[in-house]
Structure 1
């Protein structure tokens, strides 16, 4: 083992030609022999560089449409030979195997081919075999060989020599690449080609974007990763226009806001306000500023220091309204110059522009670690329409009550269980989240509505004549009776309790209309 290795022979084989010619010229200037394959060799020759074809090194031509070219002892022997091992050196001499000191490889674009909708044949052809083999051989023998898989590292090896510390770092990066690459292939085979929702082996890989200041609490560490493969456009891809670095909690809460906002992607101007991953105000109106004011009035206490997400490009008047209190993060598809100018005065406010709002109905898997394992489930992309509702009470709901019920139900889906949401005219009136029983959630939501009425001078609490949504069935009539006390006129719930008849009877006695959805939305 030695610290400094002088590069005398380099093998270059890349699908992404970014920076290739400059690297080739730098190495050639240091007297490095360049060995290459196919299109890489052509690109180097076109730049006026002397290049030895891989077939000259191996004594075999590239064959089978390029599938077989580097899988040869004169390649892998030159990569794997331990240079200070006498037996290895003797074998090299006996079989005329020359040492290779540097390998520059990036792999066939498998993920990109899948993302662009390639045919099965195209996808299979873009599974790299020789590339990962060379990467792994070179990385294993990093005491003597440098493996470079990232064009960002070309400048390091352009000097013509490498240190042991550099080679170790390259090796770690190389194995991460092959693990991610093979993971993407295995998951494509399992989930797309074979139609398995839950593969026998689940490979989860990602690229680190940045380390965060800390995790949920200051004593915890955290980082942001991008999943390997074609990722949904979301917070991780957002452009941060201004503000402090995002924290773990900022990302978590902003994602909760964005997931709820996605339900209203195609709705009228809608504003979602979230605090501690729970919505505290949601409203739809004719303008964004009107929607913000209505959402804010639902729970103006909790809105302080919250996260705001909007489904329209942010405008100046809405930005002015938002600037009235301290806000951690604002998420929007875009923002006009007037809005940016307003927020520029709030240097700590983070403004995130996401471009495209995600599709609430998109498919995918979500994972949650538990002690000794990992729970994996499909996304909760379940939704209902008016046609899915079953009226179970004597009184039929009005058209407006049904619209309010669907609105409340949509919001409740994103509230931590046990969840109760009152809504009227496209505005949340009160939200009760995360209680151990549904009755308390009902009472908390009603209390918040009463406080909002007093704070903002409403003639009456917004729960009067509202629709109330419960994320799961009412196991007893007490939760429904709490809604009656709050003045709700309409109930939407999954149904399915052993005491459904008791709950329906209570609703009938109170003159409520009630519908069952047949679908629940627990959120833990």
Structure 2
């Protein structure tokens, strides 16, 4: 009797061509359900409906179609075992040789605007994962395909091996099938974790808490030439079936993105997201090795770019530039004078894009949504990983404490807010000096805060006169306050919380500085 293939797919790409080859070239018989059966019949292919094969109608509005012993007995049968052969014969069942199944588009459904919980629930596939898992488990006796990209290699193997499939290929397909169902279940859990009112594993855990279990699954976007260094292998993955974030960005010119490009681009996105709001003035951030070397606001985009570049033109060479507004022509023209690795903008006009083509190697990316990023941040350690919520806390100046006799002016408060938003994205220990809504000096990643203060002030030079200084964490001693005052700093913003806060406040009062405590720390390691 001709071999039996079960076809039941949501994504019907290539299914007619596969079925035609199975029937015409290799003599398979086909059974199918629902829309797949209709598609094959419309193409003139001989197909038996699952309901006719099992003798049981589809019920519950199509919720139950393939959940039947005749289907799963055929998938899980081991024809070389006498007991299994006897069970098949006694129950009028046939062993199934090929299972072709892919699943309801759950991730695509929940990615749509306005989707309801009921709609999402109805797109949770039950019969499909059951058949895939059963077929993958029994891969020693049959083949399971869950992706249209597999159809060609399957048919070629049939032709090359006299109608059989090598065990090694069946094993490969089975592993892909288990990955497929695992990713599908993970997508459901992710959606329900974000949608339902609590974590069912611990009813006492508030919805905002990190879950008691957390998985990370990705689909490879592309292999990268190497990682941070040429001897390290690397690849880029997206975390859902529907591309989002950088996987959904449009690269309009330039070389292929590298590992380091993507790391720097994400750091750039995070900092420029601080300045994305309706009617926000133009903002530009220039980054190098994950740290901002120049950030500025301006009355025009060109002014903001020029101020950011002037903050540290040496470090800006070969850097990443991020804009909070679509790129305009004058700014595009100005950037052609500088070697850059990447430019990221929420939009780009035709004339600006044409100007950038003069620097054909620079990577230009359009990312319309600059604000949506990861909610949780994993960090691998030996034997596991750490997980924390992303540092996306809103800055609330009305909750700051002004702890000195000197009171800030409205202009100083605006400058302090700018510097505080920037220091949040500088590697700790972090110090930022700013003036006129532009960074003047940045001290990053030093082993002690005094070192970061000295680096930032030395870089600022004369611009430190009347400027403000922000620190991502408290000052343990008053030495940095005195160093800042000696350089001309007029106001300091820091979290507070040191046992010696009084010493720093007293030094600020003695030297006539403004000091603001935020009550919030922004370590970034």
Asked if these proteins are the same fold (TM beyond 0.5), I'd say yes
Alignment of 1:172 onto 2:175: yes
Post-superposition CA distance 1:181-209 (Å, at most 9, x none): 11122334444325233222212211111
1:329 maps to 342
- Provide closer, same or farther for how the CA distance between residues 129 and 37 of structure 1 changes in structure 2, counting only shifts above 3 A: same
Aligned-pair distance for 1:53?
1.3
Structure 2: gaps of 5 or more residues: 200-208
Rounded to whole Å, the distance in 1 between the matches of 2:363 and 2:60 is 54
Aligned-pair distance for 1:439?
1.5
2:365 maps to 352
Rounded to whole Å, the distance in 1 between the matches of 2:452 and 2:72 is 66
1:443 maps to 454
2:501 maps to 500
Rounded to whole Å, the distance in 2 between the matches of 1:130 and 1:442 is 62
Alignment of 1:241 onto 2:238: no
Aligned-pair distance for 1:7?
8.1
Equivalent residue in structure 2 for 1:383, among 364, 380, 394:
394
- Name the SS for the 2:516 alignment partner: strand
* Greater shift in the superposed pair: 250-259 or 183-192: 183-192
1:253 maps to 264
CA contact (8 A) 1:422 1:466 kept: yes
CA contact (8 A) 2:8 2:102 kept: yes
Please give the residue correspondences for 1:217-296 in structure 2 after superposition, counting only pairs within 5 Å. Answer: 217-228=229-240, 233-266=244-277, 267-296=280-309
Alignment of 1:10 onto 2:12: no
- Provide closer, same or farther for how the CA distance between residues 347 and 314 of structure 1 changes in structure 2, counting only shifts above 3 A: same
Alignment of 1:71 onto 2:73: no
State the TM-score, normalizing by the size of structure 2.
Answer: 0.91
Equivalent residue in structure 2 for 1:134, among 127, 131, 134:
131
CA contact (8 A) 1:234 1:358 kept: no
- Name the SS for the 2:228 alignment partner: coil
Post-superposition CA distance 1:68-112 (Å, at most 9, x none): 221222212222223444443343233322122222211123223
Aligned-pair distance for 1:157?
4.5
1:113 maps to 109
CA contact (8 A) 2:294 2:439 kept: yes
Rounded to whole Å, the distance in 2 between the matches of 1:333 and 1:412 is 23
CA contact (8 A) 1:273 1:282 kept: yes
Aligned-pair distance for 1:40?
2.1
Rounded to whole Å, the distance in 1 between the matches of 2:374 and 2:251 is 27
- Name the SS for the 1:328 alignment partner: strand
1:54 maps to 50
2:404 maps to 393
- Name the SS for the 2:523 alignment partner: coil
CA contact (8 A) 1:477 1:502 kept: yes
CA contact (8 A) 2:210 2:389 kept: no
Equivalent residue in structure 2 for 1:205, among 206, 212, 217:
217
Rounded to whole Å, the distance in 2 between the matches of 1:124 and 1:313 is 38
Rounded to whole Å, the distance in 1 between the matches of 2:198 and 2:468 is 40
- Name the SS for the 2:62 alignment partner: coil
Rounded to whole Å, the distance in 2 between the matches of 1:446 and 1:479 is 11
Rounded to whole Å, the distance in 2 between the matches of 1:107 and 1:168 is 20
* Greater shift in the superposed pair: 372-381 or 184-193: 184-193
CA contact (8 A) 2:342 2:364 kept: yes
Rounded to whole Å, the distance in 2 between the matches of 1:265 and 1:19 is 43
* Greater shift in the superposed pair: 249-258 or 123-132: 123-132
Please give the residue correspondences for 1:85-124 in structure 2 after superposition, counting only pairs within 5 Å. Answer: 85-116=81-112, 117-124=114-121
- Name the SS for the 1:498 alignment partner: coil
Rounded to whole Å, the distance in 2 between the matches of 1:91 and 1:169 is 29
2:203 maps to none
CA contact (8 A) 2:435 2:468 kept: yes
- Name the SS for the 2:439 alignment partner: strand
- Name the SS for the 2:295 alignment partner: strand
Aligned-pair distance for 1:54?
0.8
Alignment of 1:152 onto 2:149: yes
1:489 maps to 490
CA contact (8 A) 1:269 1:287 kept: yes
CA contact (8 A) 2:154 2:165 kept: no
Please give the residue correspondences for 1:450-469 in structure 2 after superposition, counting only pairs within 5 Å. Answer: 450=461, 461-469=462-470
- Name the SS for the 1:48 alignment partner: coil
- Name the SS for the 1:210 alignment partner: strand
Aligned-pair distance for 1:482?
1.9
CA contact (8 A) 1:146 1:162 kept: no
Alignment of 1:42 onto 2:38: yes
